[in-house]
Amino acid sequence: MAWLVTGGAGYIGSHVVRAFRAEGIDVVVVDDLSSGHRSFVPDGVPFARGTILDGELLTTTLSKHSITGVVHVAGYKYAGVSVQRPLHTYEQNVTATAVLLAAMQQTGVTNMVFSSSAAVYGTPHTDLVTEDTPKSPESPYGESKLIGEWLLRDQSVAAGLRHTSLRYFNVVGSGAADLRDTSPHNLFPRVFDALVDGRVPRINGDDYATPDGTCVRDYIHVADLAASHVAAARRLDAGQPIEPVYNLGSGLGVSVRQIMDTVARVSGIDFEPEIGPRRPGDPDRIVASGELAARDLDWRMRHSLEDMVRSAWESRQAASA
């Protein structure tokens, strides 16, 4: 069997590609390199550069490589910026997903693992988010991911698509020194860039109703996340029962202050973060249960907070060498 990974040159997608290869499963990558990096795709992995809005490219790639399933990671992932760019967000995340599903139907590919997001929940009014927690997205990005889940559901009824959607929380760390998160909007890259530039990282608010006053979020290691994509693909290929959605969360949570303290310890750079005002709408705590994924997708936290920070810092340092 061979699986296509859309967005396979990006931070998460490239880890998924390597997780598949580590299990001896052939992969093919489609990526337009708008935020990904060609160097993240291993030698020997077939690579098609282009947008998944290009149906002809997709049908050709699916047919040429005898693809049996798709891990759909490609998309516009900047929740905050999506508020200023709603049309672009919907085009990249909704229209493109529909084009991909049409190409799959045309070529007889019936398995999909979809990269969804915790953003579908918005600001949940519960300490522990489960798959049944009400969905209330607060950005075009979150809305587009929820619509993506609906598209898979409807295509399942119409065309027999077998699918699952994995709702990510805060993905961090690195599974290899040559792979790293290069997003200008994510916490770890922002903190590391500040330290490398000689600036002091910033915490947005320290007066939340949490043990140390800073926001608590659910951080998961990207390699753990990637492993569960392989497990989901195996279930789909084997025709085994699978849930339509899974949360990939720790059930615990880590505060921003704990992140900062760990970064200082791992990097050897002693700093005291600046404290800025709260960002509007930031809840005190968002933590997810990963029980369903643990049952079906070999989901578990194989990495500690220090592992997450150290691996990410080492990959950042390697990129600067």
Compute the distance between CA of residue 74 and CA of residue 71 in angstroms, rounded to an integer: 9
Compute the distance between CA of residue 88 and CA of residue 42 in angstroms, rounded to an integer: 30
Exposed e or buried b per residue across 178-214, where buried means at least 16 C-beta atoms within 10 angstroms of its C-beta = ebbbbeeebbbbebbebbeeeeebebebbebebeebb
Which of the following is catalytic: 78, 90, 121, 141? 141
**Residue 55: count of CB within 10 angstroms of its CB:** 15
Q: For strand 254-255 and strand 216-217, is the pairing parallel, antiparallel, or unpaired?
A: antiparallel
Type of residue numbered 70: V
In degrees and rounded to multiples of 5, residue 29 shows phi and psi of -120, 135
DSSP string, 187-223: HHHHHHHHHHTTPPPEEE-S-SSSTTSS-EE-EEEHH
Compute the distance between CA of residue 125 and CA of residue 134 in angstroms, rounded to an integer: 9
In the numeric block, the tokens 């950042």 are attached to 316
3-state secondary structure of 114: strand
User: Residue 27: which residues within 8 A CB-CB, separation 6 or more?
Assistant: 2, 3, 4, 5, 8, 17, 20, 21, 45
Compute the distance between CA of residue 229 and CA of residue 8 in angstroms, rounded to an integer: 13
- CA-based torsion, 118, 120, 122, 128: positive or negative: negative
3-state secondary structure of 134: coil
Type of residue numbered 12: I
Active site residue 141: yes
Nearest to 17 by CA among 39, 32, 34, 35: 39
In the numeric block, the tokens 């139907």 are attached to 105
Catalytic machinery residues: 141
